[in-house]
């Protein structure tokens, strides 16, 4: 189980996010079949209904499409949808929080920019 249970986030949302990350990172390509609710249930040791709920979030947001009798597949623009969604919803909010905290600590714009640059460089190095 890779998810922390004490997070406020329900498991089905965590499943949805995990699947998004899989699509985003290219582990599951466009028009490829995604995990079934039963595979997800066995992988994460959760009830298949919970897994289905996670899959349905992606289907509702047009990242997955259904093929009758065959299961769910990744839509061609899934990665783009996820990128937009995460930028709009998550990244923006985090940046806002970041700015708020910086304001509280009296951090100047350039100081904040330097910190962000440094962090990006570190993460590039790690990936190398």
Partner 1 sequence: MNVIECKGLTKQYGRIDALKDLSFSIRENTITGLVGPNGAGKTTLLKIIAGYLKETAGVVKVFSGHPFNNLETSANLVFIDDNMAMPATMNIEEILNAAGSFYAYWNRELANRLFDYFSLNPRQLYKDLSKGQKSTFNMIIGLSARCALTIFDEPTTGMDASVRKDFYRALLQDYLQHPRTVIFSSHLLNEIEDILEEVLLLAEGRKRLHLPVSELKEYAVGLRGKEEKVNRFTRSAEILRRERFGRDSIYVVTRYNFNKTTLQKAREAGLEVLPVSTADLCVYLTARNKGGIDDVFNQD
User: Residues interacting with partner 1, by CB under 8 A?
Assistant: 1, 5-8, 10-12, 38, 41-42, 44-50, 53
Nearer to partner 1, 38 or 65 (CB): 38
The answer to whether the CB of 39 falls within 8 A of the CB of 45 is no
Find tokens 């509702």 and name the residue: 60
Nearer to partner 1, 46 or 64 (CB): 46
Nearest approach, Cβ of 57 to partner 1 (angstroms)? Answer: 11
Rounded to an integer, what distance in angstroms lies between the CA atom of residue 64 and that of residue 19? 11
Nearest approach, Cβ of 60 to partner 1 (angstroms)? Answer: 15
Nearest approach, Cβ of 77 to partner 1 (angstroms)? Answer: 27
As given in the structure block, the two tokens for residue 107 are 């951090």
The answer to whether the CB of 25 falls within 8 A of the CB of 66 is no
């Amino acid at each position: 189980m890779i998810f922390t249970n004490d997070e406020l986030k329900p498991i089905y949302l965590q499943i949805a996010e995990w699947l998004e990350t899989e699509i985003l990172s290219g582990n599951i390509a466009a028009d490829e079949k995604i995990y079934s609710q039963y595979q997800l249930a066995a992988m994460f040791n959760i009830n298949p209904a919970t897994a289905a709920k996670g899959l349905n979030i992606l289907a509702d947001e047009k990242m997955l499409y259904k093929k009758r009798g065959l299961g769910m597949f990744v839509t061609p623009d899934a990665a783009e949808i996820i990128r937009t969604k995460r930028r709009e919803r998550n990244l923006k909010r985090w940046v806002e929080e970041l700015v708020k905290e910086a304001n509280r600590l009296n951090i100047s714009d350039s100081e904040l920019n330097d910190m962000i640059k440094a962090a990006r460089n570190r993460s590039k190095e790690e990936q190398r």
